[in-house]
Amino acid sequence: MSRFRNAVLTVALMAVACLATAQSTQYPGVGRAATPKEVAKWDIDVRPDFKGLPAGSGSVAKGQDVWEGKCAHCHGVFGESNEVFSPLIGGTTAEDIKNGRVANLKRTDYPGRTTIMKVPTVSTLWDYINRAMPWTNPKTLTTEEVYAVTAFMLNMANIVPDNYVLSDKNIAEVQARMPNRNGMSTAHAMWPGNEFGGVKKPDTANKICMKECTPEAKVASFLPDFARNAHGNLQEQNRIVGPQRGADTTKPEPKAGMPVAAAAPAASAKPENNEAKAAIALLNKHSCTACHGVDKKIVGPGFNEIAKKQAGKTDYILSKIKAGGVGVYGQIPMPAQSLPDVDAKQIAEWISKGASK
């Protein structure tokens, strides 16, 4: 699938570049052609044949240091964590490395499938770590760190020794030891061509069942109260021909089972909370909402929960944002955050005041 994904990405990049060129020539003053440097920043994929892999190297020892500082809080010290994400390491044997097929994948009684059990190509590991990790701050690892973390993962799976230094020069040798390198199936119609021994005939032959069908879901539109009559009565703006008349937006949204005339009057819109909007925008900008909801727990506690426990403690909240910590709301650690002090203080003040929306 890496080859297919890379092809799609390449087409998308070409489309962006063509669109920019078209805008700059067809519509003067609107847009411009993407520069080679701008395209290069997006063109970072690494193919299974290692085309696109940058020159560099990283040791297992270096990878362990990076792992413990930036990866272990989600994946566990040995890649075994099943608390935040599925385990990365485990389930492979020396025999799998020799044969290139993971025997445990055929067992229905095996407790779970790890990443190293399934992934057939080492390029997939390198590429994904490079573009998406760490989860809360992607694309911040250096080339050396990506090589090193990949080497450490391979070492934990007993694919490379403790003193190994992974590089663009020897990565093909590592591919020859991937436990599931021969486990990838290409005998289906998902491949775009026959270069991997694919077939054009679909690998399923399902027939449409027309018996005991579940009722079809009804999809309808809905206008929130604050937007209901923002641009006049929609019913008066529709044509008098055809079945669609539009909603009478001078009246409130009827409740289920209640006639329009008997619907309760619309509640007045809540005044805008600009402080909350600005704080939430910063939370989204710095990926805080990947682990925390405003009023619900995701990986870490919701901001409302923190606000109840730490009401008025702006400085304390600010220190926890900057330094990270573990144990206050559970055993999943939060890494230290590198956002600007002014942004961190604004978020801390918002939380200390109640974390309202």
Contacts of 258 (CB under 8 A, 6+ apart): none
- Residues listed for the chain: 357
What is d(CA 65, CA 148) in angstroms, rounded to the nearest whole number? 9
Query: SS3 letters for 251-274?
Result: CCCCCCCCCHHHCCCCCCCCCCCH
Position with higher pLDDT, 316 vs 198: 316
Q: Quick one: what percent of the chain has pLDDT higher than 90?
A: 30
Beta bridge partners of residue 58, listed in sequence order:
166
DSSP 336: P
Classify residue 184 as exposed, middle or buried by CB count within 10 Å of its CB (0-12, 13-18, 19+).
middle
pLDDT band at 295 (very low <50, low <70, confident <90, very high): confident
Contacts of 19 (CB under 8 A, 6+ apart): 31
Q: What sign results for the dihedral spanned by CA atoms 320, 322, 323, 329?
A: positive
Q: Is the pLDDT of residue 4 over 60?
A: no
**Cross-strand bridge partners of residue 167:** 57
Choose between 312 and 229: higher pLDDT.
312
Q: Does residue 162 carry a pLDDT above 60?
A: yes
264 has pLDDT over 60? no
What value does the mean pLDDT take over residues 199-228? 73
SS3 227: helix
Residue 239 predicted with pLDDT over 80: no
Q: How many alpha carbons lie under 13 Å from residue 316 in its C-beta half-sphere? A: 10
Q: Which of the four pLDDT bands, split at 50, 70 and 90, describes residue 98? A: very high
pLDDT of residue 121: 94
> CA–CA separation, 115 vs 112, rounded Å?
10
Task: Name the pLDDT band for 41 (thresholds 50, 70, 90).
Answer: confident
Does residue 351 register a pLDDT over 80? yes
Report the C-alpha gap between 322 and 316 in whole angstroms: 10
**CA distances for 288 relative to 317, 318, 335, angstroms:** 14, 14, 11
Lowest mean pLDDT among 126-135, 206-215, 258-267: 258-267
* Average pLDDT of the segment spanning 169-190: 88
Report residue 293 as tokens.
Answer: 């909801």
Res 50: pLDDT: 93
Q: What number is the average pLDDT over the span 297-324?
A: 86
Report the percent of the chain where pLDDT is more than 70.
Answer: 78
Please provide the DSSP assignment of 271-335 as one string. PP-HHHHHHHHHHHHTTGGGTB-SSSBSSS--HHHHHHHSTT-HHHHHHHHHH-BSSSS-SSPBP
Amino acid at 104: N
pLDDT at 112 over 60: yes
- What does the alpha-carbon distance between residue 91 and residue 113 come to, in Å, rounded to a whole number? 7
